[in-house]
A and B are shown apart, each in its own frame.
Chain A
Amino acid sequence: MTLIETANIGQKYAGQHILKGVSLNINRGDVFALIGPTGAGKTTLLRLLDLLEVPSSGSIYFDGMDVTGSKRLRLQARRRMTFVLQKPVVFNMSVHDNVACGLKWRGEKGAAISQRVSRVLEVVGMTEYSSRNARTLSGGETQRVAIARALAVEPEVLFLDEPTANLDPVSTSRIEEVLAHIIGEQKTTVVMATHDMSQGQRLASRIGVIMNGEILQVGSPGDIFSTPQNKEVAQFVGVENILSGVIVNRDDNLVTIDVSGSLIQAISDYHIGEEVHALIRPEDITLAPRKETSSARNTFEGRITRIFPVGALVRVEVACGFPLLIVVTKRSAQDLKLTVDKKVYATFKATAIHIIKRWN
């Protein structure tokens, strides 16, 4: 059931379009992640959805009601949701009083407030900080207080703007645990903005990719990451091999694509003559020192142009008529004695390639 719906909303600041024609449905119980690069319009969209701002065009519906214009309806609807800002601020008062604010503003009374506050402080693991001035807390603790403050009012929708953007890894996993708990236990509808795709993947049930103020794709994390709709989304979700080519042959749905003179086989419904991008994830390519027989339809001979370690993995760039980025483990790199200029064979399956149409 749709809880929030936007119909073609746009937002302009000083004549500049920050959001263009965004139409989005968020269902009750969704954990919706808005992913996109910095400056894509994620925060603006969240501010519009939380009714902090009025869109310059289009309409917003909350629980079936048009809440775009009326101040009274906006306050009513806003009291059913809360928003944790990217850089959360706490009021200059105790942690307990901070968390109690939303409840006081809704006219709740003393005993009920205290009970609710202690419960949410326990959820975020901040019980022992209750009487401390919230301004003396660290970044991660502040974030947890902000989340507790938002949860205290038992919102139907919780908006989170980059909940872990400014935190260290330990605080980040702590916050993610809290969020996972909320999502699992309380069935709150959550809408979060993040530029961290893996976070989106871990927490969300649906993902919307936003770039340059437009929603480019909405789908399950699986859909978004395995079948990005266009080159920009593919690049953003971490598909690092994006090869441009033309379909030159088709046999059933096995197509042959000419990429700078090399022929790649993939599965696709596109027709001969169509210009496409072939998307291949670096982890889906294997490297071998010799040409080996396998069921994979694509094997290319090439030379290593660059090797650089990233954590426990090694990224290898190979020139095989077109550039390919391959990721192997450190151990494999040692076993294969990979060095720059070494001749290698890169192999990938036709099914590991995702084909999208080229629009430019």
Chain B
Amino acid sequence: MTELWEALVTAVKLIISFDPEVMAIAGRSLAISATSSTIAALICLPLATVIHFNKFRGKRTLINIVQTLFSLPTVAVGLFVFVLFSSAGPLGGLDILFTPAVMVIGQVILISPIMLGLTISALSGIDKSIADTAISLGASRLQTAVITLREARFAVLAGLIMGFGRAISEVGLSLMVGGNIRGFTRTITTAISLETSKGDLELALALGIILIVIALIINLVLNRVQQK
């Protein structure tokens, strides 16, 4: 018990003293997840709008599939991306396995269903009369889509934040395709996993605390957004 307490105290000291390694890992985690969230948002917002505003065969099925993929196992995405980018894989020539770039690609695949699905349901939550009003006021299809997205902005933002939350907290994918290379692809979650298995609880706890604080901030923002 005392050992655990000492580890916790050291962990807090590491955070308060802005320990360079802890800060570098946390910064890298944030950078990778923010990049993947931004890319996923840029793909998902227009795609969700196209799906929402168009009638086509299999639309319901497509949405069901997207929703099923919300709980896509991170290791499954990891395996897929690994095979895709391994030297024998179809995209092996790019030689980006075990780099932050491939981690971003993996996270984009992982969180896109969440962002896509939640944006579609955010748009569905907006009364059809909003779009009718826009159209009747002379809005083009694009202008109608933009105003509807704007009306759904709080729910849409909640979806994007959920996606970011999943990206920053996943470990399996980053470990498999990033390789947990110190100073290069090591993120909060992969570092915690490694340090814990090594028995170096101080660093693991410090990073764990930072991750929880990030999760807390995300939740606070989410709550604020949803109350609007």
Contact = CB atoms under 8 A, between A and B. Distances in A.
Contacts of B143: 105
B135 A78 contact: yes
B133 A89 contact: yes
A78 B127 contact: no
A114 B136 CA distance: 21
Contact of A105 (B127, B130, B137, B151): B137
A162 B133 CA distance: 15
Contact of B136 (A82, A87, A91, A106): A82
Most chain-A CB neighbours within 10 Å: which of B135, B136, B139?
A: B136
A88 B133 contact: yes
A81 B136 CA distance: 8
Nearest to A80: B138
B227 interface: no
Contacts, number: 53
Contacts of A149: 137
Interface string A23-46: 000000000000000000000000
Contact of B140 (A52, A92, A105, A159): A105
B137 A89 contact: no
B147 A101 contact: yes
Given A89-B129, A89-B130, A105-B143, A50 B136 contact: yes
B127 A75 contact: no
Contacts of B135: 52, 78
Interface in B121-168: 127, 129-130, 132-140, 143, 147, 150-151
Contacts of A79: 138
B151 A52 contact: no
Nearest to A84: B136
Nearest to A47: B132
Summarize B's interface: helix, strand, loop or mixed.
helix
A105 B150 contact: no
A102 B135 CA distance: 9
Contacts of A300: none
Most chain-A CB neighbours within 10 Å: which of B127, B130, B135?
A: B135
A87 B132 CA distance: 11
Contact of B138 (A88, A92, A153, A159): A153
A105 B151 CA distance: 16
Interface in A148-186: 149-150, 153, 159
Most chain-A CB neighbours within 10 Å: which of B138, B143, B151?
A: B138
Contacts of A159: 136
A75 B140 contact: yes
A285 interface: no
B226 to A, nearest CB: 15
A175 to B, nearest CB: 18
Given A91-B151, A105-B143, A153 B137 contact: yes
Nearest to B144: A105
B157 to A, nearest CB: 13
B136 A89 contact: no
A29 to B, nearest CB: 21
Interface in A114-148: 146
Given A52-B136, A75-B138, A150-B136, 17 more contacts: A75-B140, A78-B138, A82-B137, A83-B136, A85-B129, A85-B132, A87-B129, A89-B127, A89-B133, A91-B151, A102-B137, A102-B138, A105-B134, A105-B137, A105-B140, A149-B137, A153-B138
Interface of A: 50, 52, 75, 78-79, 81-83, 85, 87-89, 91-92, 101-102, 105-106, 146, 149-150, 153, 159
Interface of B: 127, 129-130, 132-140, 143, 147, 150-151
In the A-B complex, the 9 residue pairs with the closest CB atoms: A83-B136, A102-B137, A79-B138, A89-B129, A105-B139, A105-B143, A105-B138, A102-B138, A89-B133
13 contacts: A50-B136, A78-B135, A79-B138, A82-B137, A83-B132, A85-B132, A89-B130, A91-B147, A101-B139, A102-B137, A105-B134, A105-B139, A149-B137
